Structure 1
Amino acid sequence: MKKIALLLCASVFTLGCCTSQNKNMPKPDANPEDYASIITAENLKESLYTYASDEFEGRKTGEPGQKKAVEFIKNHYISLGIESPIAEGDYFQEIPASYFKGDIKDSENVLAYIKGSEKPDEVIVISAHLDHIGISKNGDINNGADDDGSGTVAILEIAKAFKAAADKGNRPKRTILFLHVTGEEIGLFGSRYYTEVDPVFPLKNTVADLNIDMIGRVDPKHENQRNYLYLIGSDKLSKQLHEVSEAVNKKYFNMEFDYTYNDDNDPNRFYYRSDHYSFAKNNVPVIFYFNGSHADYHKPSDTPDKIQYDLLETRARLIFHTAWELANRDERIKVD
C-alpha cells in the first residue's frame, strides 16, 4: 500500500509539473487569417458612408469637417480600447497654423498604437491621410470617398484585426503605429510634421511605412481585371521589403501587383505625391498602395456608392497580412 501511495503521489507531482510547464510554454504561431477575416466589406462600407458623408464637409485641413473627421477616428480607437502613444486619452498630434502655408488653420494628426510584445522599440507604421479638398466654390462637397476615405477606414479595420489578435494573446512582436495624417492635399504637411518635427517614435527605429491612398476603386486600365493593386516604392529602399510583400501576396491573394508607377521615369511622379514619401526621404522603407486614378478624382462625384467594397476588403486584408509579417519576423528588414 505504501508503494502504491508513493507512486500515486509521484504521478500527481509529475502531472502537476507538466501542467505548470504547459501554462508557461509559448503559444504556437497564430494564424493571421483568423484575424484578417475580421476586416469585412460590410464594416468598411458602414464606416465610409459616415466618413465620406456631407456631414464631414470634404474634410478640408483645419476646417470644421476635418475636426469632425479626427473625432470620428479617435472615437473608433477609444471604442476598441486601442491606446494613443502620445498620452492617455490624447490621440491628437497638434500642428499649429504657423506650420502651414497660406490661411490654413491649426490641424492635427491622429495616432494610435499597439505596443510590441518582444521588440516594442521597432515600429511598423500604417498611414493614410484623413483630409480632402473640402467644398468647391459653387458649394459642392468633395466627399473624398476613395481619396482617402478608403485608406482611412482600411486602417481602422486593420487596427481592429490587430487588437483582436492582441486580446487573444497574439500581440505583434513589433509595435504597430496607426497614423492618420492631415494636410496631405496641400503638400504632405501632416506626414512631414510627424517625420521632421515630432516623430513620436524615432525614425531610426521605424522599420517600414505602409501607406494607403486610394484603394477602393478600379482604374480604366484594369476594368477587365479587378484583382489588382498598384504598388509604388516597395523596392526603392529595401529589397527585403519588396520580397516580403511579394511573398505575402503569393501566399494569401495572388492578385496582380502593377508596378507601372514605380518606374523612376513615371511622368505622374506618384512616388513623391503621398505621405509615404515623408518617410522615404528619411531612409525608411515604404510601400504606397494605390488603385490608380479615375474620372472622379478630386471631384464631388468621388462618393461612397462608387467604392467596390469587395476589393477594398481584399486590399485591406493584404495590407494587414503584410504588416503582420513585418511585425512578427525574427529580424527587421534591412535598408539597402
Structure 2
Amino acid sequence: MKKVLFLAVAVSLVGCKAQQSKSIESANVMDYANTITANELKDHLYTFASDEFQGRETGEPGQKMAAEYLKKEYQQLGIPSPLGGDDYYQEVPSSAFRRGNIKDTENVLAYIEGSTMPEEILVISSHYDHEGIDDEGNIYNGADDDGSGTVAILEIAEAFVQAKKDGYTPKRSILFLNVTGEEKGLVGSRYYTENPVFPLENTVTNLNIDMIGRIGTDMENSGDYVYLIGSDKLSTELHELSEEVNNKYLNLNLDYTFNDENDPNRFYYRSDHYNFAKHDIPIIFYFNGVHEDYHKPTDTPDKIEYDLLEKRTKLVFLTAWEVANRDERPFVDKPTLTEGE
C-alpha cells in the first residue's frame, strides 16, 4: 500500500512539473483572449461605476471603496501584491499633489511573476479615480473615464491567471497598476515612476488604457476602431509588434489621428503613460476619443458599447502577451518627447 502511494505521489509530482514547464509558444493565446467577455466587463462596470462609489474622487470615500474593490478582485483571482502580504496599496501622500487640498490616496498594485525573465516588467495601467460629486449632488460615475480601462485590466489579469493555471506563465513579469489621482494631474503615475516598486530600467513597456468603452464624436461610421497614441514615439519595434498582433488576431481599425505631434488635443501628454515615456519606457495609449458625456455626470455604464469594449480589451491582452513573451524587449530607438517639443 505504501509503495503504491509513493508511486502515485511521484507520478503526480512529475505531472505537475510537466505542466509547469509547458512552452509558452505552444499555447493557443486566443483561448485566453476569449475569456474576456462583454458580460463580465459589464458586470464589473455596473458595480465600479455605480453611485455607491460616489464618483471615485481622489482621496475621498468613494475612491477608497473602489481601491478595496480592486484589491478583493485581485485576491479572488489569486494574484499577489508585489508589496507583500495583503498590502496591495502604494500609498500616495497628500504632499505629492502640487495643487488643491487633496487627502492621502493610493495606487493599487497586483503582480504575476515571470517564468524566465522575472526581473523584466511589463506594466499595464489605468486610472481608477474620477471627478466625484459636484456641489449640486450630481455623481460623476466615470463609466468610460476610466471605469472602462479599469475593468479591462481586471479581465486581462484573469486571462493571464487562466493561462498560468494551464502551465503558460508569461516569460516576463506583469504589473497591473491601477493609479489614483489622474484627474488631479497624473499624480498617481508620477508618484509610481518617482518611487517605483521595480527599477524603471527593468520596465520594458507600459500599456495604458484610458477610455475604451465608447464611440467618440464623429466616429459613428468608423467600425470597430480604437485610437492608438504613442506606440511609435520611442520604439519602432513596439509599434510594429502592435500592428502585427492586431493584423493576426482582430483586425480592428487602429486610428492614429491623435498620434500626430501637431494634434491640438495633445493627448499624448494627458494620460498616465506619459510619466513612463518621460523615462524612455515605450508606451501605447489605448483611447476611444472624447464624446458628449466626457467629464459629465452622464458618463454612465448604460452607455458603454460592451462588445466593442471586449474587442479593445482583447487587443491590449494580446499585445501584452506578445510583449511579455518575446525573446527581446522592445528596443528604444527614438529620443524622449517632453511637453512642449
CA distance in 2, matches of 1:23, 1:95: 42
* Contact kept in structure 2, 1:218 and 1:226, CA below 8 Å: no
In structure 2, the partner of 1:331 is 328
In structure 2, the partner of 1:55 is 52
* Alpha-carbon distance, 1:279 to partner: 0.2
CA distance in 2, matches of 1:262, 1:98: 33
In structure 2, the partner of 1:114 is 112
Identity %: 66
| 2:60 is the alignment partner of 1:81 | no
* Alpha-carbon distance, 1:220 to partner: 2.6
* Alpha-carbon distance, 1:248 to partner: 0.3
Aligned length: 317
Q: For each residue in 1:91-129, what CA deviation from the matched residue of structure 2 results, as whole angstroms up to 9, or x when unmatched?
A: 000011121132100000000010000000111100000
| 2:225 is the alignment partner of 1:233 | no
Question: CA 1:23–1:95 in 2, change beyond 3 Å: closer, same or farther?
Answer: closer
- CA RMSD for the aligned pairs? 1.5
Q: For each residue in 1:205-234, what CA deviation from the matched residue of structure 2 results, as whole angstroms up to 9, or x when unmatched?
A: 101000000000001322012300000000
In structure 1, the partner of 2:337 is none
- Where structure 2 has 5 or more consecutive residues not aligned to the other structure, the ranges are 1-10, 334-341
User: Which segment drifts farther, 27-36 or 303-312?
Assistant: 27-36
| 2:294 is the alignment partner of 1:294 | no
Q: Which amino acid aligns with 2:105?
A: S
In structure 2, the partner of 1:274 is 271
Secondary structure of the residue that 1:89 maps to in structure 2?
coil
* Alpha-carbon distance, 1:263 to partner: 0.5
Secondary structure of the residue that 2:147 maps to in structure 1?
helix
Q: Which amino acid aligns with 1:166?
A: K
CA distance in 2, matches of 1:186, 1:96: 13
CA distance in 1, matches of 2:22, 2:183: 46
* Contact kept in structure 2, 1:55 and 1:65, CA below 8 Å: yes
In structure 1, the partner of 2:154 is 156
Within-5 A mapping of 1:35-54: 35-54=32-51
In structure 2, the partner of 1:136 is 134
CA distance in 2, matches of 1:182, 1:92: 11
In structure 2, the partner of 1:8 is none
CA distance in 1, matches of 2:149, 2:69: 14
CA distance in 1, matches of 2:200, 2:329: 14
CA distance in 2, matches of 1:26, 1:32: 13
* Contact kept in structure 1, 2:22 and 2:168, CA below 8 Å: no
Of 248, 252, 257, the residue aligned with 1:251 is 248
CA distance in 2, matches of 1:78, 1:171: 18
In structure 2, the partner of 1:6 is none
CA distance in 2, matches of 1:70, 1:160: 18
| 2:93 is the alignment partner of 1:96 | yes
In structure 2, the partner of 1:183 is 181
* Alpha-carbon distance, 1:137 to partner: 1.5
Give the greater-gyration-radius structure (CA).
1
Of 189, 200, 208, the residue aligned with 1:211 is 208
* Alpha-carbon distance, 1:23 to partner: 4.6
CA distance in 1, matches of 2:320, 2:40: 20
Q: Give runs of ≥4 in structure 1 deviating > 6 Å.
A: none
* Contact kept in structure 2, 1:85 and 1:112, CA below 8 Å: yes
- Where structure 1 has 5 or more consecutive residues not aligned to the other structure, the ranges are 1-15
Question: CA 1:202–1:139 in 2, change beyond 3 Å: closer, same or farther?
Answer: same
CA distance in 2, matches of 1:304, 1:193: 29
CA distance in 2, matches of 1:212, 1:72: 19
Secondary structure of the residue that 2:139 maps to in structure 1?
coil
In structure 2, the partner of 1:145 is 143
* Contact kept in structure 2, 1:57 and 1:142, CA below 8 Å: yes
User: Which segment drifts farther, 238-247 or 212-221?
Assistant: 212-221
